[in-house]
């Protein structure tokens, strides 16, 4: 690139030296190929051994930290299992919705058909009993077992029909059973109702006692706390005596009426005395 303007020659010390080319290698015929190859192979093996040693140390260190760090197959199987497990659970949970009831009905019809067929055979045998009256009859254990199963199924069916008739709402005359079952409903706290019953009874008894005491005791100031407790005890004794001896109530109430009469007479006498003093002052 050309530069325009005044150009000064730089001193030799600052001048850039041209890049020197590396010396040409001597011809093959004059090289010591065997020595160089041996040294190169030794250095290569040394570096390789060092790298292998480093890799082995890292391998041991990784195994100490996590024994399953190189268990690639196990990790892969676990990943696949986690991916497949939800599908398997979904298939297991997706059970048929109505097949259970259908199978139950099919089994019920099967038992009914067998019972009908058995009764039919019994009727046919009863018609031919006079022909084989002198013959021995043999019953196998399998037939006995079958008859026992039929009897058991008929008993269960009878109990089921009785329960259905009992729970049939169309035959109910009132709602007593409805409210009775409503009290057993867990959504309305049926489990909590049983332990609460004794507490409720205790609170009711305490409230009744407090009500009786409040009806029989007049309010007193705070300074007479012992007197109030004594009055409460007296009123409790009076209420208990009233409950035990109801026939003596008129005799207890009689002094109260006499007391009111005496109080009225005393008020009238005091009024007369006050008026007499007033007249005396005026005179």
The span from the CA of 109 to the CA of 153, in Å, is: 12
> Measured in whole angstroms, how far is the alpha carbon of residue 45 from the centre of its chain?
69
- CB 70, CB 62: distance < 8 Å: yes
Question: Which spans in 167-224 are helix H?
Answer: 176-183, 190-216
pLDDT band at 246 (very low <50, low <70, confident <90, very high): very low
Mean pLDDT, range 223-245, rounded to an integer: 48
3-state secondary structure 115-151: HHHHHHHHHHHHHCCCCCCCCCCCCCHHHHHHHHHHH
Mean pLDDT, range 255-269, rounded to an integer: 65
**Residue 1, helix vs strand vs coil:** coil
Task: Report the mean per-residue pLDDT for the chain.
Answer: 72
pLDDT at 247: 45
pTM beyond 0.75: no
Classify residue 26 by its DSSP letter: P
Can you count the helices (H) and strands (E) in the chain?
8, 0
Q: Does pLDDT of 139 surpass 50?
A: yes
Tens of pLDDT, residues 165-199: 887 777 777 777 777 777 776 666 656 545 444 44
For residue 85, what are the CA distances in angstroms to 14, 94, 103?
78, 14, 29
pLDDT band at 259 (very low <50, low <70, confident <90, very high): low
CA atoms within 13 A on the CB side of 276: 6
Beta-carbon contacts of residue 157 (< 8 Å; ≥ 6 apart): 108
Mean pLDDT, range 207-233, rounded to an integer: 47
**Ramachandran angles phi, psi of 66, nearest 5°:** -145, 110
Q: Does pLDDT of 40 surpass 70?
A: yes
Can you read off the two tokens belonging to residue 250? 């008129």
Within the chain, strands assigned E span: none
Q: Which strand (E) or helix (H) includes residue 128? A: none
Can you read off the two tokens belonging to residue 15? 């001048």
């Amino acid at each position: 690139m050309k530069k325009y303007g005044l150009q000064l020659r730089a001193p030799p010390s600052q001048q850039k030296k041209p890049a020197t080319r590396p010396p040409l290698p001597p011809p093959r015929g004059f090289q010591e190929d065997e020595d160089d190859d041996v040294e190169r192979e030794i250095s290569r093996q040394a570096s390789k051994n060092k790298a292998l040693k480093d890799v082995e140390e890292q391998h041991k260190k990784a195994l100490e930290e996590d024994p399953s760090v190189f268990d690639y197959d196990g990790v892969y199987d676990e990943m696949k299992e986690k991916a497949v497990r939800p599908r398997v659970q979904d298939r297991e949970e997706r059970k048929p919705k109505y097949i259970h009831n259908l199978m139950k009905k099919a089994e019920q019809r099967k038992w009914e058909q067998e019972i009908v067929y058995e009764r039919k055979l019994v009727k046919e045998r009863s018609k031919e009993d006079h022909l084989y009256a002198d013959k021995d009859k043999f019953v196998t254990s399998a037939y006995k077992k079958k008859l026992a199963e039929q009897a058991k199924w008929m008993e269960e069916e009878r109990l089921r029909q009785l329960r259905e008739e009992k729970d049939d709402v169309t035959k109910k005359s009132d709602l007593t059973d409805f409210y009775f079952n409503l009290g057993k409903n867990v959504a309305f706290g049926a489990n909590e109702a049983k332990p609460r019953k004794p507490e409720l009874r205790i609170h009711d008894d305490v409230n009744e006692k407090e009500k009786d005491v409040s009806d029989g005791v007049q309010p007193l100031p705070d300074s007479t706390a012992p007197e109030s407790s004594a009055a409460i005890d007296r009123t409790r004794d009076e209420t208990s005596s009233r409950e035990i001896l109801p026939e003596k109530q008129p005799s207890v109430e009689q002094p109260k009426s006499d007391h009111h009469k005496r109080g009225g007479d005393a008020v009238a006498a005091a009024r007369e005395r006050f008026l007499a003093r007033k007249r005396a002052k005026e005179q």
